[in-house]
Chains A and B, each alone.
Chain A
Amino acid sequence: MSALRIAQEEKGWLSSETIEFVAKYLEMPAIAVYEVASFYNMYDLSPVGARKITVCTNLPCALSGGVHAADYIKKRLGIDFNETTPDGKFTLKEGECMGACGDAPVLLVNNHHMCSWMTEEKIDQLLEDLKK
């Protein structure tokens, strides 16, 4: 799993070639690696933008504005979930529980960086920062 994570960090997403490379390196059948890559949803099997934003919209977050925050980002970026902005900078994903419901609204940037209490102002600021 770490091998795939590292490969994704380097390549941005996991293409068939990348998965095959990891499989060879680990001396595993390619389909066994593909099973793993397709099972965990933080792996991307298709290209994503330079910044992948994943917003939690599960119930506890939704009660505190998770859906609202996602709607706001959609409006700001002009894209829906699972879409990438035409300039290739942003991809928006809908996430499931990130284990930080008390910090709602919560979102992840490129899987690893968590942003908490995302008000509209903070979202604006974040998008500005990420554009740089």
Chain B
Amino acid sequence: MSSQGIILSGLDGDRTWRLADYIKRGGYEALKKIIAEKISADDVIAEVKKSSLRGRGGAGFPTGLKWSFMPRAFPGAKYLACNSDEGEPGTFKDRDILRYNPHSVIEGMIIAGYAMGCERGYNYIHGEIFEVYSRFEEALQEAREAGLLGKNILGSDFSFDLFAHHGYGAYICGEETALLESIEGKKGQPRFKPPFPASFGLYGKPTTINNTETFASIPYIIREGGDAFLALGKPNNGGTKLFSVSGHVNKPGNYEIPLGTPFADLLEMAGGVRGGRKLKAVIPGGSSAPVLPASIMMDCTMDYDSISKAGSMLGSGAVIVMDESTCMVKALERLSYFYFEESCGQCTPCREGTGWLYRVVHRIENGLGRPDDLDLLNSVTANIMGRTICALGDAASMPVQSFIKHFGDEFAFHIEHKKCLVPQDVQREGSKIYVA
């Protein structure tokens, strides 16, 4: 964990997550400022818009704009939800935010609740990080006891309460409408949109869902101003962002850096490629993002626009680094298996197609590939993409398409020679247990 930013800076691992520590770091000042200066909800949203903060969950949608979609004069309940169902392979930033700085998320959500007129919020936390869920419950209790949550916050007439909810092992719940279904106690199958959550969300009420990191960025924006946040990054890519670096690096972990930092710098911060081997490929935005070969990646800066131009997505900021010991067919097989297992089963193309993709990649990996398999894979992915309710179908297809696009030769070799281009012992050496 290393930070040049606003969320993870000044922390000391497990020792500084409590309310008192957070207040020492300037915590809840943004909320106090809003209450004391009676800043209007519109002004709060305007400040967020000014910051150019973009959703940190993966889609990169401008947060201020999203907030302004919430119906103002809606009679009755409106809800806020935080998406901490972090299960996109390669992504592990929300876990650190929640366990080391939970109050930043709580404060961000309170402010969001204020800005959008919500009375209730839920933080949906990935079931596998249950210890973090338990800690978040403790943090909520601290905030309630301090009068920061509940009725008449800080003596104002603004009331907001926040509850933690845990997942229990379903990647799809990271999709925002599946997450809402799951909070409602159902299986997490995404809903068809429209209607969008802003009009028909949790329990049928207007709901806004943001990522953990997005909420955690809010206090800074309010405290220091949207302009200050924007200035941390680059135009249209405001602020600093957490990057979760994993795979073949010497120091895997979270790095909070200004948007626009060159990838090469990030790689260096993460200790460089392991064992002095050569960089082969990088998935820059979580497993669903298209893979990029080293040559392209080394020219990128880490922001939404640059990565998008290079043909991939910044996504959740999960950087999976693969060195020359990696067999790209095996890597894809692993990802395809994941999407096959995690498809919710609702839409035909994804339910039937992800299994098909996995089985074809699996047979190539196992030396049973056929000459026209790559065309078949491309054709099947084309039939899945854009044909399903949620983006899981696309997420399953993009790795397949990009792996074939950039590493087609390696796949062709596999099919022709019925074995890996990368020798087995090299692969084994590259993927043995590595603890920095």
The answer on direct contact between A and B (beta carbons under 8 Å) is: yes
B90, A59: Cβ atoms closer than 8 Å:
yes
CB 8 Å contact bits of B159-198 with A (1 = contact, 0 = none): 0000001111111000000000010011110000000000
CB-CB under 8 A from B351, the residues of chain A are none
Q: Using a CB-CB cutoff of 8 Å, which residues 6-38 of chain A contact chain B?
A: 26, 32, 35-36
Secondary structure at the A interface, as helix, strand, loop or mixed, is mixed
A60-B320, A68-B432 in contact; A99/B87 too (CB < 8 A)? yes
Q: Using a CB-CB cutoff of 8 Å, which residues 55-70 of chain A contact chain B?
A: 57-65, 67-69
Q: Using a CB-CB cutoff of 8 Å, which residues 233-248 of chain B contact chain A?
A: 244-248
B341, A118: Cβ atoms closer than 8 Å:
no
CB 8 Å contact bits of B316-351 with A (1 = contact, 0 = none): 001011100010000100110010011010000000
A59-B334, A64-B247, A101-B89 in contact; A112/B170 too (CB < 8 A)? no
Q: Does B152 contact A (CB under 8 A)?
A: no
B166, A98: Cβ atoms closer than 8 Å:
no
B186, A36: Cβ atoms closer than 8 Å:
yes
Q: Does A43 contact B (CB under 8 A)?
A: yes
A65, B89: Cβ atoms closer than 8 Å:
no
A60, B246: Cβ atoms closer than 8 Å:
yes
A39, B188: Cβ atoms closer than 8 Å:
yes
CB-CB under 8 A from B129, the residues of chain A are 98-100, 114
Q: Does B254 contact A (CB under 8 A)?
A: yes
CB 8 Å contact bits of B70-102 with A (1 = contact, 0 = none): 000000000000000011111110110000000
Q: Does B431 contact A (CB under 8 A)?
A: yes
CB-CB under 8 A from B27, the residues of chain A are none
A59, B433: Cβ atoms closer than 8 Å:
no
CB-CB under 8 A from A41, the residues of chain B are 168-170
B169, A40: Cβ atoms closer than 8 Å:
yes
CB nearest to B436 among chain A residues: A117
CB-CB under 8 A from B171, the residues of chain A are 96-97
A68-B432, A120-B433 in contact; A99/B169 too (CB < 8 A)? no
Q: Does A103 contact B (CB under 8 A)?
A: yes
Say which residue of B168, B320, B326 sits within 8 Å of A40 (CB atoms): B168
B128, A118: Cβ atoms closer than 8 Å:
no
A83 to chain B, nearest CB (A): 18
CB-CB under 8 A from B87, the residues of chain A are 96-99
CB-CB under 8 A from B95, the residues of chain A are 99-100
> In the docked arrangement, what's the CA distance between A61 and B341, Å?
17
Q: Using a CB-CB cutoff of 8 Å, which residues 89-147 of chain B contact chain A?
A: 89-92, 94-95, 126-131
B431, A1: Cβ atoms closer than 8 Å:
no
> In the docked arrangement, what's the CA distance between A4 and B131, Å?
18
B89, A97: Cβ atoms closer than 8 Å:
yes
A103 to chain B, nearest CB (A): 7
Q: Does B201 contact A (CB under 8 A)?
A: no
CB-CB under 8 A from B393, the residues of chain A are none
A1 to chain B, nearest CB (A): 6
> In the docked arrangement, what's the CA distance between A67 and B318, Å?
20
A40-B167, A57-B334 in contact; A102/B254 too (CB < 8 A)? yes
CB-CB under 8 A from A99, the residues of chain B are 86-87, 91-92, 94-95, 126, 128-129
Q: Does B287 contact A (CB under 8 A)?
A: yes
Q: Does B64 contact A (CB under 8 A)?
A: no
A96, B182: Cβ atoms closer than 8 Å:
no
> In the docked arrangement, what's the CA distance between A103 and B188, Å?
27
A60, B185: Cβ atoms closer than 8 Å:
no
A99-B94, A101-B246, A102-B92 in contact; A36/B435 too (CB < 8 A)? no
> In the docked arrangement, what's the CA distance between A26 and B91, Å?
35
Q: Does B430 contact A (CB under 8 A)?
A: yes
CB-CB under 8 A from B88, the residues of chain A are 97
Q: Which residues on A are within 8 Å of B, measured CB to CB?
A: 1-2, 4-5, 26, 32, 35-36, 39-43, 57-65, 67-69, 72, 95-105, 108, 111-114, 117-120
Give 16 A-B contacts (CB < 8 Å), ordered by A residue.
A1-B167, A36-B185, A40-B167, A59-B90, A60-B287, A63-B248, A63-B321, A63-B322, A64-B435, A72-B433, A99-B91, A99-B128, A101-B89, A111-B127, A114-B130, A118-B433
